[in-house]
Structure formats: structure tokens, C-alpha cells
Structure 1
């Protein structure tokens, strides 16, 4: 029963107030993200998107290729220094060129598509996870995805990965939704296939491989292959993927012939089989990448994955799981582990390759944090969370000093990293 004080306040502050609205929650996440990513001129470290010059070869190459596309008006064949550039498909160059056309040729315009992709990813995270696991998990998962080092770094660079992860995450989440919701199954399977087609337009076959790394093990473990063949319309899906991606690839092959085909193979299977451009590393390369890149939430991730593995055993023994949330855990954990294995087996290794695993990782940690808040968690997670909070206090104090340190050493940074110069492409 409500207390007299609660009863007296209820007419002025109803339970269905705007602060409990899904739109309000999503808006808060997106506004914070816009500020942190520098879209509105601010950022966690006091630097907006255009404050720092292009920092490495990939940023410079992508920005210049988009500038040349805008200059030449050739929207099919990307170039770099006016020579054919076969490394990546044209999708990201289209976005950057459009940004140049609106905001001019500068660092802000070059990085804006990446920052907006980060906002889109957060919106996907919130909308889908709220539907499956409730508002608490959705808010936690969105903030955990936003507030980690790799997200804040990658979505402020001129790379193809921010757009890729939007489409691969949309594909994976749409597959899950279609498999578990009869009324909208047909539409979300269509989104699943279309998103993979868009992912292939962003970065090649990996745009299809990343979602399937989670989908195939899940269908196998849960013995749902027959249901997928009957209800997932795989033949229609192949047509949808091809309808999105094939026209550009066919035009490139028609224009450039065998030269494009050879370069495309070198940048796909070649990268997997052999380390390219000196980007190798040991089999444990991604362990510190995840620990640092997904910090601070990586402190909880090993514990979460360990306990979720027990649910794999339940499914493997032919038993179902009690709740949709537990089934979601199985799917997401299979996806995270599958991506870790896949990119570890690849001979070419880079820190941002594992970024597609971060949205699912954030959801897994958020589910267990909700259980911790409800006092439904084992002691192990409680201990790791206390450790995380302690480290968070130290990190918070350190971050408060970052702007002053940055200003103090700015000249030295420019000297040590001469590539971090103003984008003078116009």
C-alpha cells in the first residue's frame, strides 16, 4: 500500500510520467552520445570531431578517396591519388562525400558519418533490447556500449567499421526478433537479409560473415535449422542480399575486370590467410584489446561468459530455457565467442576488427547487472563489480586532468605524430 506521502504526490507525478517513457530514455542516451562523440562541438576530452587532424593512414586515405569521388563525380569507382582504390566498397565514400557536400571538406565532415553511425547503433541497442529484456537492461546496455574506450575512439575516426557494425548488429538483432516473434517474422527476416547486403557494401563479405558467426551456431545448438528453412525464407534472403550488394560489384568487375577481382580476393581471403601490412599478432591478440577497449565493463565480461556457458550445456542436452532473456543470453554469448574465434583465426589482426562483438557484450553484462541490482547474482559478479567501481573512481579522477594534460603536451603530440595535421584537401 502506498504511504500517505506517496499518495499525495501521485496526482502530480504519475507512474506514466514522461521520465518513464521509452522515448525519454532513448533521448537521454542519444543526447549524451552526441556530446561524447563531439557531434555538437563537445566531447569527453574537450575536443570536437574536427579539432584534431587526421591521425593515421586509414583516416587520410578514406577522407581523400571520398574527396576525389566528390570532385570527379564518379560514384562507382573509388580512387586514391586518382588511381583505382579496390580496398573497400563505395558505401562509406558515398556517406563522406555527401557530408563534404553539406559541411565542406574538413575533418568534421569526414568524421561525421562515423559519429552518426555510433548514434544509430545506440538507438538500435536500446529499441531492440527494450523489447526483449525490458527497459532496465536496455538502458544499461546502451550506456555500457557508449561508455567504453573503443566505441568512443572508433566512432570519432574516418573508418568503415562504425557503419559496418550498425548493419551487422541490425542483422543479428533482426534475426533474433524474427525467430521469436511470429507476427513480424517475415518483415524482420527481410531486414536481416537487407542489412547483410548493406554490410557487404560497406566492407565486403565480412558484412555477411559477422552475423552468421552468431546465427549458425545458435541454430545448431538449439536444433532450429528445420524451422529456419521453413520460416526464414533463405532463398528469398539470397535474392535480397544480392539485390543490395551485387549491382555495385558487377559494375566494378565490368569496369576494371580481373584487376578488381584479384584485389578483392587479396583484401578478403588474403587478409584471413596471411598477415597484411604488418598487422599480425599472437593468438591472444584480442584478449588485451577487449580488456582495454571494452573497459571498464570488460572487468565483468569473463564472469558473464563463464556463467552463460552453462546455458549452452542445457540446450545441448535437449532442454529448453525458462525465459526469453536466457535464450537471448545464449545467442549473444555464442555470437561474442564466435567473433573472438573467427578474428583470432584470421592472420591479419587489428584492434578494431573485434568491435562488432561489443554491442552483444554490452547486453550480456547489462543482463547480469540487472540481476545484481535485484540481488539475484552469484558472489563472483558482486566482487568484480566492486572492483570495477573502485577502478572507476581512480579513472574518473584521472579523466578530470586530461584536458590540462592534453594542452600541456599538445606541441609534443604534434611533433611525435606528424600525421595528425589539418586536413587541407580542398
Structure 2
């Protein structure tokens, strides 16, 4: 393990810092956050997020603080914004690793950070959802304090709880109620099942909730006074308050699906790690006789029985945190996959404990590891086949998709081959390869090739090149955030096209219009003259017409 820090640094560089400047801002979440930060700074608004000079009640204003700082102190380039989110992701890895080292040992801490760094949802969140990274950091600082209060030393407990509840208050201000409250829900679930002595008394939840409300109430009260019911109906679902609600039964399905996909490739190992959390690991252990007193987690630190009880108690607490962190996905209206990020540190810590024991005695955990690498090979094969099929349909990006399919296929089978040869520790390390090698391929090859599918930047550039200054641009649908972010022309909201063509002309006599390809027939029907296509992209078409 002497080279573990170097390997972890290389993994972080590959996953978080590769190809950050390969393309512009992408729709919707990344570009929308950047546009909100730009408008808030330009309008000097200190209370309400703005998008298109209108209130955007999606998440609290402090959620845009990292993006706003980038706009204030550097040029608003995607590179700087993504570097800031990557730095936040590194901070989340540090928090996760420190929790693992605190409760399971230094080796487990390094492994936990490596597992989380090579989970699919982390680089995705670092690209698109900085708010969820912030929420996960604050929530897991709070979880660390709660875990220390339950399983750590009594000395310094109050100070750690102050820090923990302060972090949960920050989560409430930055991301909303659900990201701030699920750690307490996880603790409640653990205490209800484990029933330790003086469980709630140790963490002082009432004082903590008062502290959280005291920090968050000024902003929430001011927003309630300004927007009333419109704000109150969206606030419970921050940071995804804009999305429309789907059917009730979709929530549990999304939670499980997001965990499986977002924790790829380690989701293949997670069932074994969950089962391993209830395994008395160290040899010579015997459960105490019925009726015997249960030692406290901070008692008899040198006693192996006490240590085993404490480690398993912490593992069970992390299982409770895993389920509690998935619960908001059930409540959110149509959340993105990055909503699973707060649950991933718990899954990474459980896998880290399993892998730490693998380094102690590989033969005792050989069976669940073998099952995991077989499952990964199967999932990787299916994923590679699906990518190859998509490549035949989307010819613009066929080479990039085929390259990604090859990387996924090869890296998914390497752990199986290592396990087949009896190199189980090597097989466990190779589980990180699909994301470690797949992310640079996506960042450096696939995303630049797909930019016109995910961004309207080329339309904005073309509009600036062919139209006079301050020319109006008619819109058939609401403007994508990248069009609003990059264009230097006046955007006309959707309305009556026939009236718009004659009313909103540029100084050169043309009326400019942007629309999605599926709207082309309707635009042709409404156009008062021949429609000249200036630029056609997969996501947006730019055209102009000279009304007669």
C-alpha cells in the first residue's frame, strides 16, 4: 500500500481533471447554473436566483456561490467552472477517506476514497451538478460528527457535534431540506434497529435542529415573504424544484436504478459488501452470552471484541445512511442521476471495509469477490453491445462510441481474468478501470463530438457572425441555457410566429429564428417568405426569412 496515495492521485487526475476544456458549457444543468450566476452578478441580486431576469425557484441562491465566485474572479470559461467543481469533488473524497480511516483504519480510508473516485456518478456530478457535490460534502461532515458521537470518544463530542450540525445547516441553506435532513434520518433508522443505550441523547438532535433553523431561517423567511406559496411549494424539493412530478411508483425504481448505474462498476461488489457488514471478521471472536452487558463503542479500546462491535456498528450505521440518502430520490420530482451522489460515500465505505479485509485474508472473501467480477464482466459486455448498437444509429459519433464500447468491454473483463488467475487483490484493484479509463475517453473524445447534441453554442456563434448587432432572435420554444449564455443578441420569447416575423426584424430586413428540428414544418408554414437555413445542428436550427 505504499504507492496507494500516488495511485489515488493518478485516478483523481484521470477521472476529474481530464478533458475539462474539450467543449463549452452543456445543457441543461451546467449551462443554467452558469447563466444564473452571470445574471445574479449582473443584476446585483442578493436573494433570488434569476434566469432570463425571472425568478428561478429551483434551489437556494447560495447553491450558485461556487459558480458566482468563478465569474467574479476569473473569466467565465467552462474550464474554470469545471476545475472548481472538480476541487469540490476532491474535498468529498477527502471527507469520505477521513471517515473510513477514522472508523476502519488508514488503508480502508484510502480504499474508500479510491472507490468513490472511480464511481460513475462522481465525474458526472463534477461536470454537471456542483450543488449536489456541495450537499454531499456538508451532509457527510454531519454524518461524521453523528458517527463520532455514537461510536467515538466522549472527549470533544460537543465540539464535533457543533461542527456537524453547522455543516447540516450549510446543506439546508445551499441545497434544501432533504439533503440536510437525511443524515438524521439515517441515524434514526440505525437507532431504531440497533437500540443502543442513550442513542439520541448523545447526538442532541433538538439543539442541532434549532441551530440549523437559526442559520437557514433568514433566507427561507425572506423568500417566503417575497414569493409566498410559489416558493413554499418548491422549497421541499430543492435542489430539484423545477422538474415536473412523475408517477409515484417511479421513485423507488429510480432510487435503485440510480444506485446501480451511479455506483458502477462497484455496484457489482455492493451486495457482497452489504452482507459482509454483518460478518464477525476477526478469528477467535465469539458473541457474548445472552444477557451479557453490551460494551459501549468507546469502551475498552484495546479489546478486540469491543473493536469488532464498534466496527460492525459503524458499518450498520453506514447501511442506514445509504438507505436514508436514497430516500430523497423517491421524493424528488424527476431527479437527475447525480441525485444519488450523497448515497455513494456510504456505499464506498462499505466496499472499503470489505476490500480492507480482502488484503488481510483474501481466501475468506473470495466467493463474493468472484461473484462481483463475474457480474461486472456481464454488465460491461451488455453495456459495450448497447454502445455499439447506438453507434450504428448515430453516425456523427460512431468512432467515439465504438472506442468507448471497446474500453468498457476490455476493462470490465480484466478483473475477471485476474480473479481467474488467483490474483484476487489485483482483481479488486482492476474494478476501478472502467471509469478510470472510460471517463477520459468520454471527456476527450465523445463529449467534443457530441457538443452540437448537448449545446447551442454553435448556433449562438453563427448568429453573431451573420446578423447585425442587437438583432432579435425569434424562439419557438424556451431558449436552451447555452443559447442564453452564449448569444449576444436579443432573444424573443415564444409567441405568435406570423406576427413575430413581421414585428421583430433586424436592421438588415431579415427576421431570424431558432427552433428545434421537429418544429421545422410549423415554422415553414408560418414563415411569410422562403426560409433560409443558416445552420442545422441535431438540437437546434438557425434560419432567417425576409418578410415580403
Flag whether TM exceeds 0.5 (same fold).
yes
When the two structures are superposed, what TM-score results if normalisation uses the length of structure 2? 0.63
Instruction: Show the counterpart of 1:382.
Output: 369
Tell me if the contact between 2:124 and 2:338 (Cα under 8 Å) persists in the aligned partners.
no
Distance 1:406 1:227 in 2: 46
Distance 2:116 2:247 in 1: 30
Tell me if the contact between 1:171 and 1:193 (Cα under 8 Å) persists in the aligned partners.
yes
Cα deviations by residue, 1:198-245 (Å, 9 ceiling, x for unpaired):
11112210122221231111122232474432x333332123212321
Correspondence list, 1:301-316, <5 A = 301-308=270-277
Tell me if the contact between 2:273 and 2:350 (Cα under 8 Å) persists in the aligned partners.
yes
Tell me if the contact between 2:136 and 2:342 (Cα under 8 Å) persists in the aligned partners.
yes
Cα deviations by residue, 1:2-33 (Å, 9 ceiling, x for unpaired):
xxxxxxxxxxxxxxxxx96xxx9768745752
Distance 2:251 2:139 in 1: 26
Cα deviations by residue, 1:225-267 (Å, 9 ceiling, x for unpaired):
74432x33333212321232112112222333444334435x4
Gaps of 5+ in 1: 1-18
* Secondary structure at the counterpart of residue 120 of structure 1: helix
Tell me if the contact between 1:58 and 1:159 (Cα under 8 Å) persists in the aligned partners.
no
> What's the offset of the Cα at 1:280?
7.9
* Secondary structure at the counterpart of residue 126 of structure 1: helix
Tell whether 2:437 aligns with 1:416.
no
Tell me if the contact between 1:105 and 1:425 (Cα under 8 Å) persists in the aligned partners.
no
Which of residues 160, 169, 177 in structure 2 aligns to 1:197? 169
Instruction: Show the counterpart of 2:77.
Output: 106
> What's the offset of the Cα at 1:344?
3.8
Tell whether 2:183 aligns with 1:211.
yes
Correspondence list, 1:325-404, <5 A = 325-341=311-327, 343-344=329-330, 348-375=334-361, 377-384=364-371, 386-387=373-374, 391=412, 393=414
Instruction: Show the counterpart of 2:122.
Output: 151
CA, structure 1 residues 418+381, in 2 after alignment: closer, same or farther (shift >3 Å)? Answer: same
When the two structures are superposed, what TM-score results if normalisation uses the length of structure 1? 0.79
Q: Could you tell which deviates more after superposition, 383-392 or 394-403?
A: 394-403
Tell whether 2:242 aligns with 1:256.
no
CA, structure 1 residues 58+406, in 2 after alignment: closer, same or farther (shift >3 Å)? Answer: closer
Distance 2:345 2:315 in 1: 13
Distance 1:196 1:168 in 2: 6
CA, structure 1 residues 164+233, in 2 after alignment: closer, same or farther (shift >3 Å)? Answer: same
Tell me if the contact between 1:219 and 1:225 (Cα under 8 Å) persists in the aligned partners.
no
Which of residues 188, 198, 203 in structure 1 aligns to 2:160? 188
Cα-Cα RMSD: 3.7
Cα deviations by residue, 1:139-171 (Å, 9 ceiling, x for unpaired):
110100111211111112244111111111111
Q: Could you tell which deviates more after superposition, 285-294 or 344-353?
A: 344-353
Distance 1:201 1:290 in 2: 26
Tell me if the contact between 1:279 and 1:348 (Cα under 8 Å) persists in the aligned partners.
no
Structure with higher Rg: it is: 2
Tell me if the contact between 1:77 and 1:90 (Cα under 8 Å) persists in the aligned partners.
yes
Cα deviations by residue, 1:284-334 (Å, 9 ceiling, x for unpaired):
3333432232122111101221343578xx99x996773322111111012
Distance 1:56 1:371 in 2: 43
Distance 1:296 1:132 in 2: 24
Tell whether 2:57 aligns with 1:52.
no
Cα deviations by residue, 1:26-56 (Å, 9 ceiling, x for unpaired):
6874575255312xxxx1xxx12x3322222
Distance 1:189 1:36 in 2: 33
Distance 2:239 2:446 in 1: 42
Tell me if the contact between 2:276 and 2:354 (Cα under 8 Å) persists in the aligned partners.
no
Instruction: Show the counterpart of 2:109.
Output: 138
Tell whether 2:16 aligns with 1:37.
yes
Instruction: Show the counterpart of 1:128.
Output: 99
Instruction: Show the counterpart of 1:87.
Output: 58
Between 1 and 2, higher relative CO (CA 8 Å, sep ≥ 6) is seen in: 1
* Secondary structure at the counterpart of residue 140 of structure 1: helix
Distance 1:409 1:114 in 2: 20
Q: Could you tell which deviates more after superposition, 83-92 or 339-348?
A: 339-348
Instruction: Show the counterpart of 2:245.
Output: 276
> What's the offset of the Cα at 1:123?
1.1
CA, structure 1 residues 407+268, in 2 after alignment: closer, same or farther (shift >3 Å)? Answer: closer
Aligned residues between the structures: 391
Q: Could you tell which deviates more after superposition, 296-305 or 377-386?
A: 377-386
Q: Could you tell which deviates more after superposition, 337-346 or 240-249?
A: 337-346
